[in-house]
Amino acid sequence: MHTPISPVRLPLIEGNKSYHNITEDLCTPTEKAPGLAWITAFLVSVIVMTFGLFSIAWTVWFGIGSWNLNRTIGWGYDITNFVWWIGIGHAGTLISAILLLFRQKWRTGVNRAAEAMTIFAVMCAGLFPAIHTGRPWFDFFMFPYPNTRGPLWVNFNSPLLWDIFAISTYFTVSLLFWYTGLVPDFATVRDRASGFRKKVYNFLSFGWTGSAKHWQRWESLSLILAGLATPLVLSVHTIVSFDFATSVIPGWHTTIFPPYFVAGAIFSGFAMVQTLMIMTRKILNLEQYITVNHIESMNKVILLTGTIVGVAYLTELFIAWYSGYIYEQFAFFNRAFGIYWWAYFGMMACNVLSPQIFWIKKIRRSIFWTFLMSIFVNIGMWFERFVIIATTLARDYLPSSWSYYTPTWVEIGIYVGSLGIFFTLYLAFTRVAPVVAIAEVKHILKTAGDQYVGPKAVHTLKEEVHNENAH
């Protein structure tokens, strides 16, 4: 007897899972004691995070002078890291919102973790604008709250203010979306739990009973949030790019920045999803949920966005030449051949050239190559932001003020620390919530008329076949 697998539409979940199997597989990590790999990773993350927090405290106590920024280069690691983290966040929203609207069912295998990544990445990103100010204790000046100083309002012309709105909106919508998805899953965990855990998960699941009305509302809410989140995928990084595009500094002042930044954000976000997923599926034994097909699909996105980014780089160069504007021409000439040439070529190699190997299907489906490339892309995209920020500022209009920038240990500490914060949160997340959306995966388990419950369930049939063969 054959298993009912459609040759046209391959199953998105491998291993002939039953609904019960899915519940078991995905809830278990939240229920049993963590393994050695998790404990080690968590300890390392917490230590790195602590160092990062120490570096932040150092910065606040001693002042921005503990960084190596100077009169010419006012932003360095801080804003580079900010843009990098914001970019990373984009993949989660793209996967959960845009792919939901496009009815890309494979997204369900990765969307939960990707959304978590978004939340944590945006938290890390938000950290940098907050601590990069000279007087962080007055950061609240940036919010338009009613006050007795006139009232004195914020400057609505400033892209930094738009950032505040864009990022806070983005964070709120992403968090809601993520949590909405978690509600039925928390209920599943609750139903299996007992004692105190049950109470906690009961609270977290908002008393979800799984009634048809609940599901209906849940579906509607998900769609609405997806609709809200979709423009955010495009708008957030567009606005982040305005930080540069609306300035007068050659190399920043370019109209190509919004699409180019968005493509770059999705590019780096998917790379980070790959990094995380490859590790997660291995450690939590989720290979049958997060399959090679997922990895291949995401590699295709990486290939596409990487190529878009490459075209943007070339367009920038062309426009600089075509503009006839000497400052812009020099800015781009300097990026490639000036003091920071290594950053530019690092960026080009990692972002444009190396993803081209994904034209080869074998590499696209290779775990090793995917993991390697995801790291490359993350490095490349970091370089991109560094090139845009530091290289441009280092040599702008007046040669008298040109300078050079290398970070201090404090700046490196905060950057590494932000990675620590990110991984600490992510690792904690894998212990608390199902890493794959249980409810959503169950939706897509059935691709044809196959059965997963009752005596004709696929796994039962398989067992029968097995028994027959044994006889």
Q: How far is the CB of 451 from another protein (least distance, A)?
A: 50
Q: How far is the CB of 458 from another protein (least distance, A)?
A: 49
User: Which residues, 6 or more positions from 253, have their beta carbon under 8 angstroms from its beta carbon?
Assistant: 244, 245, 246, 247, 328
> Is residue 134 classed exposed, middle or buried when 0-12, 13-18 and 19+ CB atoms within 10 A define those classes?
exposed
Work out the number of other CB atoms within 10 angstroms of the CB of residue 235. Answer: 17
At CA 437, angle to CA 432 and CA 443, rounded to 5? Answer: 150
Cβ nearer to another protein, comparing 71 with 213:
71
Give CA–CA dist 245/3, Å, rounded.
56
For every residue of 145-213, which 3-state class applies, written as one string? CCCCCCCCCCCCCCHHHHHHHHHHHHHHHHHHHHHHHHHHHHHHHHHHCCHHHHHHHHHHCCCCCCCHH
Cβ nearer to another protein, comparing 161 with 419:
161
- Is the separation of the CB atoms in 186 and 208 below 8 Å? yes
Cβ nearer to another protein, comparing 276 with 388:
388
Cβ nearer to another protein, comparing 139 with 450:
139
- Is the separation of the CB atoms in 290 and 109 below 8 Å? yes
Cβ nearer to another protein, comparing 148 with 400:
400
Dig out the tokens for 312 from the structure. 């943007």
Q: How far is the CB of 13 from another protein (least distance, A)?
A: 48
Work out the number of other CB atoms within 10 angstroms of the CB of residue 203. Answer: 11
At CA 235, angle to CA 359 and CA 100, rounded to 5? Answer: 60
Q: Shortest CA distance to 178 belongs to which of 90, 86, 116, 227?
A: 116
* Diameter over CA atoms, the chain: 89
Cβ nearer to another protein, comparing 50 with 401:
401
Q: How far is the CB of 321 from another protein (least distance, A)?
A: 11
Q: Shortest CA distance to 243 belongs to which of 119, 333, 324, 158?
A: 158
Q: How far is the CB of 313 from another protein (least distance, A)?
A: 17
Helix, strand, coil percent values for the chain (each to nearest 5): 75, 0, 25
Q: How far is the CB of 151 from another protein (least distance, A)?
A: 12
Cβ nearer to another protein, comparing 156 with 196:
156
Q: How far is the CB of 281 from another protein (least distance, A)?
A: 41
Cβ nearer to another protein, comparing 152 with 470:
152
Q: How far is the CB of 143 from another protein (least distance, A)?
A: 10
Q: How far is the CB of 352 from another protein (least distance, A)?
A: 18
Cβ nearer to another protein, comparing 36 with 152:
152
Q: Tokens 């945006």 sit at which residue?
A: 122
Dig out the tokens for 13 from the structure. 């979940």
Q: How far is the CB of 142 from another protein (least distance, A)?
A: 5
**Contact residues for another protein, defined by CB under 8 A:** 61-65, 68-72, 74-75, 129, 132-136, 138-139, 141-142, 152-155, 157-161, 164, 243, 246-249, 326-327, 329-330, 333-334, 336-339, 341, 393, 395-403
User: Which residues, 6 or more positions from 373, have their beta carbon under 8 angstroms from its beta carbon?
Assistant: 271, 274, 299, 302, 354, 355, 357, 358
Cβ nearer to another protein, comparing 326 with 360:
326
